[in-house]
């Protein structure tokens, strides 16, 4: 059982999880707000606390590329990045998933330039939506610690073998000191056995990895990738269930907060869900039937669980933390697509907010919900609205 509880910065909690996971290779490049994670890992390696190869590469592109190499020979591999770094890795992400290399990566979510912003939003996460990785959102340091450990179990499962990216909000999670409950090494060792890739690069059993796919085979290869990503959900559920027995902390693809009898639901992702909870608490105390839905699993998209969670509500207010410039905000468009085939579904109100680190307070969330309800009443559902913007 869990024993230690310590006040610790989110980044360091993740680094602790990496150490407990006995990660064998880390290739990383500094970028705010991720850097504390890999700095701490470098210290662990330097002090002999973690027996791993630490490759201080010259770019994020090379970070992910080196991870391809370490993972392809069968070493448990981790990296972390954010924002521009994730964008620089972009093409390598598709290779990692297409080659089925179970790399685990933390993304400390941050806005994309221009204008340059080091502060958090989900633009970076959404830009990598289609790269074929498993993608999970954590809201606080504890979740980041837990989900890091789970990420390796999920990624390395022989029927999954897919890279896994988990998102934490830059600064809000990466730099905030929170109370975190840790697990003992023996417990983690039992939960997360040694990693063995079934087809590593090995002169005794030569394999060709990364051959090119002519038109007669490319579609089949991508279909197989799609099927693998979809079917990873049952492994994710199983691993989270097992973890919950171990730690007493439960995780689900779609998590509801006081949403059972709610007519109005707010849906969001990431750390500001916790601020939204305060608004929900207050509004419920005032007798309003409002609840909160947090999307934890982003890829594979949990269509079934989402439908179950929201289909009874009358209004679903979706707060995206990224734009799809010139189109529908990404989370909203995904949810609209998931709910469209249903006979009864809530009215969807789409907001975008908290871009580039702009705060939304608990009171701000109350306003968002009230404004969303008004819009639903008036049938103003055609277009999304950026909230809190100075015109």
Residues that bind another protein (CB under 8 A): 24-25, 27, 51-53, 55-59, 61-63, 65-75, 77, 91-92, 95, 99, 194, 201-214, 217, 221
Contact 166, 148 (CB under 8 A): yes
State the minimum distance, in angstroms, from the CB of residue 153 to another protein.
Answer: 19
Size (the chain), residues? 391
Radius of gyration over every alpha carbon of the chain, rounded to an integer in angstroms: 21
Task: Quote the least distance from Cβ 276 to another protein, whole Å.
Answer: 40
- CB–CB of 123/322 below 8 Å? yes
Cβ proximity to another protein, 73 vs 386, nearer residue: 73
Residues paired with residue 257 on neighbouring β-strands, in sequence order = 292
Between 29 and 166, whose beta carbon lies closer to another protein? 29
Smallest gap from residue 62 Cβ to another protein (A): 4
Q: Is residue 224 classed as helix, strand or coil in its secondary structure?
A: helix
Smallest separation, CB 196 to another protein (Å): 8
Cβ-based nearer residue to another protein, 205 or 343: 205
Closest contact distance (angstroms) between CB of 48 and another protein is 12
- Rank residues 65 and 288 by Cβ distance to another protein and give the closer one: 65
CA dist 59 → 97, 128, 174, 261, 282 (Å): 20, 18, 21, 49, 46
- How far are the Cα atoms of 2, 138, 185 from residue 182, in angstroms, in the given order? 6, 16, 9
Closest separation between CB of residue 194 and another protein, Å? 8
Residues linked to residue 79 through DSSP beta bridges, in sequence order: 105
Shortest Å, Cβ 215 to another protein: 11
- Residue 1's H or E segment, with its range, is none
d(CA 125, CA 321): 10
Pick 201 or 278: Cβ nearer another protein: 201
Query: Nearest 5 degrees, angle CA 110-CA 244-CA 49?
Result: 65
The string of DSSP letters for 317-375 reads EEEESS--TTS--HHHHHHHHHHTT-SS--EEEEEE--GGG----HHHHHHHHHHHHHH
């Amino acid at each position: 059982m869990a024993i230690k509880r310590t006040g610790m910065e989110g980044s360091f909690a993740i680094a602790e999880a990496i150490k407990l996971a006995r990660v064998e290779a880390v290739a990383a490049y500094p970028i705010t707000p991720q850097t504390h994670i890999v700095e701490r890992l470098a210290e662990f390696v330097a002090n002999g606390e973690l027996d791993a190869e630490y490759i201080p590469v010259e770019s994020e592109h090379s970070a992910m590329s080196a991870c391809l190499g370490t993972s392809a020979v069968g070493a448990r591999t981790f990296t972390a990045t954010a924002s521009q770094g994730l964008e620089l890795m972009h093409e390598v992400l598709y290779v990692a998933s297409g080659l089925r290399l179970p790399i685990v990566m933390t993304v400390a979510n941050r806005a994309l330039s221009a204008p340059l912003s080091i502060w958090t939003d989900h633009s970076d996460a959404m830009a990598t939506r289609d790269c074929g990785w498993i993608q999970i959102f954590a809201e606080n340091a504890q979740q980041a610690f837990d989900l890091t450990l789970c990420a390796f179990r999920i990624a390395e499962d022989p029927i999954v073998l897919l890279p896994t990216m988990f998102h934490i909000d830059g600064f809000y999670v990466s730099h905030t000191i929170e109370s975190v409950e840790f697990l003992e090494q023996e417990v983690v060792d039992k939960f997360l056995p040694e990693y063995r890739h079934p087809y590593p690069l090995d002169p005794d059993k030569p394999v060709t990895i990364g051959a090119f796919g002519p038109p007669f085979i490319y579609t089949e290869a991508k279909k197989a990738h799609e099927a693998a990503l979809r079917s990873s959900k049952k492994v994710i559920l199983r691993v989270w269930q097992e973890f919950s027995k171990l730690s007493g902390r439960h995780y689900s693809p779609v998590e509801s907060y006081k949403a059972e009898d709610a007519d109005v639901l707010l849906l969001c992702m990431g750390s500001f869900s916790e601020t939204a909870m305060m608004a929900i608490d207050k509004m419920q105390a005032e007798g309003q039937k409002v609840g909160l839905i947090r999307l934890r699993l982003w890829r594979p998209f949990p269509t079934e669980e989402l439908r179950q969670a929201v289909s009874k509500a009358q209004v679903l207010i979706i707060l995206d933390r990224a734009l799809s410039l010139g189109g529908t905000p990404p989370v909203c468009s995904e949810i609209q697509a998931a709910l469209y085939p249903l006979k009864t579904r809530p009215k969807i109100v789409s907001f975008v907010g908290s871009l580039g680190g702009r705060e939304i307070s608990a009171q701000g969330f109350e306003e968002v919900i009230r404004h969303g309800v008004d819009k639903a009443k008036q049938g103003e559902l055609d277009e999304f609205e950026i909230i809190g913007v100075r015109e």
